[in-house]
């Protein structure tokens, strides 16, 4: 088991080096797909073990701190919460790599990529996959921090992939903002170590009462930066300058989920989050949802719209975690389930946007129309994604949102009805707008931009089909894991 978990990190790291140094593009694609496939298969294989027998193995420590640290420093961890993140990171990672083999071509009308960009891209993508699985299996805050910063670096490199003015600026902005979050995380980890002598997750519960709110608040701010929540949300819409598979993977399914994973981990290790911090977390989550909603109506770029939707949905996860910290296990489970459900649903939407951009060269909602005639599969996938993200049963996010709402109602006092009304209003407006956009782009009379004759390559279509199935099936897969989360 330990070996398998280590392989999850080592295999993509090695593959990154290999893929980066190969000269042949075809060989590079094969290496990337195989490595990502191995990671996905291994991740799925360890999921049942996460429920039956959670694993925490210490593998080493830093020589000059030996004896001063109690609890794990470096090692591997597998429990239901990390299994959910692993599910999303590994499976969508594999699908993203597969999709990229079709997307990064000269034939891409939106973003033609020749030979010179391929090595860079696959290196950083596989390095990111390794960093993400590293975050998922980290048994202590220290290892989490190390891999967290690695994901920041990979994200910077991938956002600036095109290396033109706007993408370099966007990459730098993302780097600085998420690194500010990383600084808060570092401070929190150092304070934790200084006071309790441990880097482990359960050390949070051993913090004295005066210090605990500050440490938790610092962790929350780190998560806000990483997961693009208000007030540190402005980097994500600009990060849409990245190639679309990167937007789908990093900035919808994986990297931004590392932030909410951190908060979920901090909240559930010992259930020590102070109620005031939980209230702040929940309130800012709701504010984020509505701020993001307010930006929907002025977007013409399809990817920017999806970026704002991602920001709102990460708010849902944090709302679930906050309600969980206030006492409702159902809401916490709903928030964690939303990590998986939203990951799949949003990845579907982003990859459809990528397919549209590949074939038509346009991402503008105003310019596109009637695409369902020439791209029926993409249309089906897009509407599946919209229905999933909006939370319509039986699709993915319905179950997680419903659990969050039920959890809110489990709490005493006015919190429940207030959250209920706000979330339902946001759900309705977001659903109406996304449906309207979907109708505008796919249904209706065809516009000149839609007069395309080519279908996206097979690799991209296959991934869309798998993601559509995922939008229906992932709640069933993730629910047993989520139900394994206990107080």
Partner 1 sequence: MSDASLLGVAALLVLAGAAVSLALARWRRPAGWVATGFVVAAAVPAWLVVVRTFAGGGWVHPTSVGLPSLGARLNIAVDPLSAFFLAVLATVAPLATLYSVEYMTHYRRDGVAKFYPVLLVFFAATAGVLVVDDFLFFLVFWELMTLSGFFLVVFERDSAVSQRAGLKYFVITHAATLAMVAAALVVWRRTSSFAFADLGRGVDGLLAGQPLIGHLVLFLFALGFATKAGVLPMGDWLPDAHPVAPSGVSAMLSGVLVKLGIYGLLRLLVPFLPVGPAAPVWGAAIALAGTASLFVATLTALRQSDSKRLLAFSTIGQIGYVVLGIGVAVAMLPAHPTVASLALLGALLHVGGHACAKACLFLGAGALLYRTGERDLRRLAGAGAVMPVTAASATTAALSISGVPPLAGFASKWLIIGACLLAGFVAPLYLVLALVALFISLVTLALFVQLLGSVFLAAPAPPRPAAEVPGSMAVPQAVLAGLTVAIGLVPFALLAPLRDAVAVVLPTAVPAAAELAGGPLGLVLRVDGRALAFWAPLVVVAVAVLVALLVHVLARRATAGVREVPVWHCGEEHDLAAVQVPVGGMYLPFKRAFEGIYPRVAVRAPRFPPWLRRVLDLDTWLYGPAARALGRGAAGVARSHVGIPQVYLLWIVIGAVAVVGLLLGLLGTGGAP
Q: How far is the CB of 422 from partner 1 (least distance, A)?
A: 11
In 3D space, the residue among 352, 162, 289 whose CA is nearest the CA of residue 170 turns out to be 162
Q: Does 289 bind partner 1 (CB under 8 A)?
A: no
Contact status, residue 113 vs residue 121, Cβ threshold 8 Å: yes
Check residue 397 for interaction with partner 1 (CB under 8 A).
no
Applying CB under 8 A, does 51 fall inside the site for partner 1? Answer: no
Q: Does 345 bind partner 1 (CB under 8 A)?
A: no
**Contact between 284 and partner 1 (CB under 8 A)?**
no
In this structure, how many other beta carbons lie within 10 angstroms of the beta carbon of residue 203?
23
Taking CB under 8 A as the rule, does residue 182 contact partner 1?
no
CA distance 237 to 396: 24
Tell the smallest beta-carbon distance from residue 446 to partner 1 (Å): 8
* C-beta closer to partner 1: residue 102 or 407: 407
- If binding is defined by CB under 8 A, does position 393 make contact with partner 1? yes
Is the Cβ of residue 26 or residue 445 nearer to partner 1 in the bound state? 445
Up-side HSE of residue 485: CA atoms within 13 Å toward CB? 28
Assess 403 for contact with partner 1 (CB under 8 A). Answer: yes
Structure-derived torsion over alpha carbons of residues 361, 89, 319, 47, reported in degrees to the nearest 10:
140
Rounded least distance, CB 192 to partner 1, Å: 28
Measured from the CB atom, the residue of 60 and 297 that comes closer to partner 1 is: 297
C-alpha–C-alpha distance, residues 290 and 475, integer Å: 26
Tokens 């600036």 correspond to 160
* Exposure class string for 311-349: b at 16+ Cβ within 10 A, else e: bbbbbbbbbbbbbbbbbbbbbbbbbbbbbbbbbbbbbbb
Provide, rounded to whole angstroms, the least separation between the CB of residue 483 and partner 1: 6
Q: Does 416 bind partner 1 (CB under 8 A)?
A: yes
The reply to whether 431 sits near partner 1 by the rule CB under 8 A is yes
Contacts of 265 (CB under 8 A, 6+ apart): 81, 144, 201
Determine which residue in the list 35, 88, 284, 291 makes contact with partner 1, applying CB under 8 A.
291
What is the rounded end-to-end Cα distance, in angstroms, of the chain?
25
**Residue 63 has what DSSP assignment?**
G
Find the binder of partner 1 among 236, 353, 398, 481 (CB under 8 A).
Answer: 398
Closest CA to 356 of 345, 368, 373, 346: 368
Q: What distance in Å separates the CA atoms of residue 233 and residue 224, rounded to the nearest whole number?
A: 8
- Interface of this chain with partner 1, residues 233 to 272, rule: CB under 8 A: 233-234
Work out whether 385 is an interface residue with partner 1 (CB under 8 A): no
Q: Single out the residue of 54, 197, 361, 444 in contact with partner 1 (rule: CB under 8 A).
A: 444
Helix (H) or strand (E) holding 202: none
| Distance in angstroms (rounded) separating the CA atoms of residues 81 and 74 | 18
Minimum distance, C-beta of residue 346 to partner 1, in the bound complex (Å): 19
DSSP assignment of 137-186 equals H--BHHHHHHHHHHHHHHHHHHHGGG-SHHHHHHHHHHHHHHHHHHHHHH
Regarding 166 and contact with partner 1 (CB under 8 A), the answer is no
Please say which residue, 325 or 379, places its beta carbon nearer to partner 1.
379
Residue with smaller CB distance to partner 1, 272 or 388: 388
- Asked if 483 touches partner 1 (CB under 8 A), the answer is yes
Binds partner 1 by CB under 8 A, chosen from 30, 49, 59, 420: 420
The stretch near partner 1 (CB under 8 A) out of 107-115, 155-163, 339-347, 429-437 is 429-437
Cα-based distances in Å from 156 to 8, 35, 167, 211, 260 = 23, 22, 10, 33, 19
Is 231 a binder of partner 1 (CB under 8 A)?
A: yes
451 near partner 1, judged by CB under 8 A: no
Give how far the C-alpha of residue 416 lies from the chain's centroid of Cα atoms, to the nearest Å: 27
41, 418, 424, 451: residue in contact with partner 1 (rule CB under 8 A)? 424
Instruction: Specify the stretch interacting with partner 1 by CB under 8 A; choose among 104-112, 194-202, 265-273, 369-377.
Output: 369-377
- How many residues contact partner 1, by CB under 8 A? 44
- By C-beta, is 144 or 321 nearer to partner 1? 321
445 binds partner 1 (CB under 8 A): yes
Closer to partner 1 by CB, 199 or 382: give it: 382
Asked if residue 406 binds partner 1 (CB under 8 A), the reply is: yes
Which candidate, 396, 397, 383, 382, places its Cα nearest to that of 473? Answer: 396
Residue 143's nearest CA partner among 64, 183, 201, 217 is 201
In the set 62, 394, 451, 465, which binds partner 1 (CB under 8 A)? 394
- Compute the least distance from the CB of residue 183 to partner 1, in Å: 14
- Tell me how far, at minimum, the Cβ of 175 lies from partner 1, in Å: 12
| C-alpha to C-alpha distances, 241 to 94, 118, 162, 164, 270, nearest whole angstrom | 22, 17, 8, 10, 40
Residue 166: partners with Cβ closer than 8 Å, 6 or more residues away: 238, 241
Name the CA dihedral angle for 282, 285, 286, 287, rounded to a multiple of 10 degrees.
120
Phi, psi of 378 (to 5 degrees): -60, -40
* 396 makes contact with partner 1 (CB under 8 A): no
- Residues near partner 1, by CB under 8 A: 176-177, 231, 233-234, 291, 294, 297, 330, 333, 370, 372-373, 376, 383, 387, 392-394, 398, 402-403, 405-406, 409-410, 416-417, 420-421, 424, 427-428, 431-432, 435-436, 439, 443-446, 479, 483
């Amino acid at each position: 088991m330990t070996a398998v978990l280590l392989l999850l990190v080592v295999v993509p790291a090695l593959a990154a080096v290999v893929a980066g140094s190969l000269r042949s593009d075809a060989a590079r694609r094969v290496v990337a797909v195989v490595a990502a496939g191995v990671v996905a298969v291994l991740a799925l294989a360890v999921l049942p073990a996460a429920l039956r027998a959670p694993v925490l193995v210490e593998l080493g420590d830093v020589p000059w701190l030996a004896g001063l640290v109690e609890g794990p420093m470096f090692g591997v961890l597998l429990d239901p919460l990390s299994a959910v993140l692993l599910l999303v990171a590994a499976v969508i990672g594999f699908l993203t790599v597969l999709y990229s083999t079709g997307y990064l071509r000269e034939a891409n009308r939106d973003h033609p990529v020749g030979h010179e960009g391929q090595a860079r891209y696959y290196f950083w993508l596989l390095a990111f996959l390794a960093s993400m699985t590293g975050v998922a299996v980290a048994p202590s805050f220290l290892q989490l921090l190390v891999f967290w910063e690695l994901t920041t670096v990979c994200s910077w490199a991938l956002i600036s992939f095109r290396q033109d003015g706007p993408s370099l600026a966007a990459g730098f902005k993302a780097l600085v903002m998420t690194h500010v979050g990383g600084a808060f995380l570092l401070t929190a980890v150092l304070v934790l170590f200084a006071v309790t002598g441990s880097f482990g997750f359960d050390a949070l519960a051993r913090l004295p009462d005066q210090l605990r709110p500050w440490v938790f608040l610092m962790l929350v701010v780190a998560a806000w930066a990483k997961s693009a929540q208000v007030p540190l949300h402005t980097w994500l819409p600009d990060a849409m300058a990245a190639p679309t598979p990167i937007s789908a993977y990093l900035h919808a399914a994986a990297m931004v989920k590392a932030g909410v994973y951190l908060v979920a981990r901090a909240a559930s290790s010992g259930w020590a989050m102070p109620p005031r911090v939980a209230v702040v977390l929940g309130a800012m989550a709701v504010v984020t949802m509505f701020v993001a909603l307010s930006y929907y109506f002025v977007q013409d770029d399809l990817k920017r719209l999806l970026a704002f939707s991602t920001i709102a949905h990460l708010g849902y996860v944090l709302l679930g975690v906050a309600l969980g910290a206030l006492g409702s296990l159902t809401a916490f489970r709903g928030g964690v389930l939303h990590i998986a459900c939203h990951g799949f649903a949003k990845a579907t939407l982003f990859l459809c946007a990528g397919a549209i951009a590949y074939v038509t060269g346009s991402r503008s909602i105003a310019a596109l129309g009637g695409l369902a005639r020439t791209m029926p599969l993409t249309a089906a996938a897009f509407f599946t994604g919209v229905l999933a993200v909006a939370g319509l049963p039986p699709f993915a996010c319905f179950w997680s949102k419903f659990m969050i709402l039920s959890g809110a109602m489990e709490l005493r006092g006015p919190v429940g009805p207030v959250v209920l009304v706000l979330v339902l209003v946001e759900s309705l407006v977001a659903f109406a707008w996304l449906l309207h956009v979907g109708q505008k782009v796919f249904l209706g009379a065809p516009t000149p931009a839609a007069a395309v004759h080519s279908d996206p390559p097979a690799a991209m279509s296959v991934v869309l089909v798998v993601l559509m199935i995922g939008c229906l099936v992932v709640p069933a897969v993730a629910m047993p894991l989520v139900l394994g989360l206990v107080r």
